[in-house]
Amino acid sequence: MDTLAAYKEHLREIGKLESALSLLNWDQRTNLPRKGHPARAEVIGKLTKMVFSLSVSDKLGEYLEKLQGQDGLTEVERASVRVVGKAYLRHKVIPPAFYEEYAIAAARSETAWEEAKEKSDFELFKPHLERMVDYARKFAEYYGYDESPYDALIEEFEPGMTSAELKTIIEPLRSELVPFIKRLMEEGKRPKDGFMQGTFPEEMQRTLSLKALSAMNYDFDAGRLDQTVHPFTTTIGPSDVRITTRYLPHNVLSGLASSMHEGGHALYDQGIPDDLRWSGLDEGASFGIHESQSRMWENLVGRSRPFWTFFAPIAGEVVPQLSVVSAEDLYRAVNIVKPSLVRVEADEVTYNLHIMLRFELEQALITGEINVSDLPGLWRDAMKRYLGVVPEDDAHGVLQDVHWSSGLFGYFPSYMLGNLYSAQFFAAARREITDLDEQIAGGKLSELLAWLRENIHQYGKMYEPKELVERITGEAPNSSHFVRYIVDKYTDVYGLR
């Protein structure tokens, strides 16, 4: 077997194990009985170590060394060697036994987080979180960094991004958003939403989600929709991309928004072409780029006037009390701005403030400026400072997100970047699809999806985020499109002059 064939087979073996891991993780968060969690953590740890060992093996290093600069490789093969080679050098410094230990601790930590959130008791989760912070700090030291250990962690999720650069994005964004939110609250006219009050059965909400996902062209023959505590999307393997959501009994739109959000992630993964499968390129360009797809479908499409022109009659058929509500009133109701406690329930105007808060706290955790025991109080203080609201319990405060339980420090900024990328991408799509609003209003979402497939999905991880954004939009990533979108839309929705 020649080097290229052996290299591809090596990646394929990694891909098969990752597929098994994805299935185990999906089951753990959807169907696994509570008593099955301890043993599952051991199995996940074992498989994680196997994947990691293959990903940093000397044999893979030999393949990469021989293939770098080799003539006759296709564009995809060259990209695979470049991307896999970068990850190889980054992760080679991590001892496999340490990685297995971390994976087991993370699986146990997530289980502890679920119990702590259910009981709203931070003390149950505190020792696990302290371990996760310790692991994150050790990972940062292994990876190395120039200025801040947090930079070493961001790189895992958003290649090329640093905490210093994030601050240059956050400061002007905050300076635009905070006074605009104040104007909306003080001068704007809040849309009516009394017709949204009530109790909505889960099956009704599931039907609404399924209809929206069908309209988005999510392929149910290559995926499924399930419920979980914290919604997520996972790719089990080729042609198996699964969505999870959650339904709140008194908020009929929460499950719909969550399903469209996760559907955006799933469409990205379903759109990655077969020739990238198990090549190291069969995932999103970055977590921020991936988030741009989910936020685009949830907000720029799902909270738009054209979408509700199309979807209002469908919603009325599923939810009888909405059948007498106009599309315009529904559109305005789904765009109410209200500083809230929970990130995943936040409107698109205040959402980024939740991310800024988390960035501030987790960066301080990693650099050692604050301790885990300080988090509940610091969280409440930051919520008051950023959003003017204060959680009354841990479940709606420091325990609301799953990410830290898995050691995903450096992940949260990708949510904010995803918002900015989504607006920049959507502006580019509008320029090329001149009747995009009319198509969405007519329920034809296939052309937007085709544009995303052509410009983003087909490339998988071939390009780093900054390069991909510039290729598509002709300009570097920036917040101007997002700010313009927010100000224009909500000036209209709230009747500001």
Give the residue numbers annotated as catalytic, written as ranges. Answer: 262
Spatial separation of the C-alpha atoms in residues 335 and 348, rounded to whole Å: 8
Report which secondary-structure segment, H or E, holds 234: strand 233-237
Q: How far apart are the first and last CA of the chain?
A: 70
Return the exposure string of 107-124: e unless at least 16 CB atoms fall within 10 Å of the residue's CB, then b.
bbbbbbbbebbeeeebeb
Token duo for residue 323: 């059948």
Give every CB contact of residue 237 below 8 A, 6+ residues apart in sequence.
15, 19, 22
Spatial separation of the C-alpha atoms in residues 52 and 18, rounded to whole Å: 10
Other CB atoms within 10 Å distance of the CB of residue 378? 18
Spatial separation of the C-alpha atoms in residues 84 and 5, rounded to whole Å: 15
What is the sign of the dihedral through the CA atoms of 423, 424, 429 and 434?
positive
Give every CB contact of residue 374 below 8 A, 6+ residues apart in sequence.
none
**Contact, 361 vs 382, CB < 8 A?**
yes
Token duo for residue 191: 């849309």
**Contact, 170 vs 356, CB < 8 A?**
yes
What is the sign of the dihedral through the CA atoms of 344, 126, 149 and 178?
positive
Total length of the chain: 497
> CA triplet 468, 414, 430: central angle to 5 degrees?
50
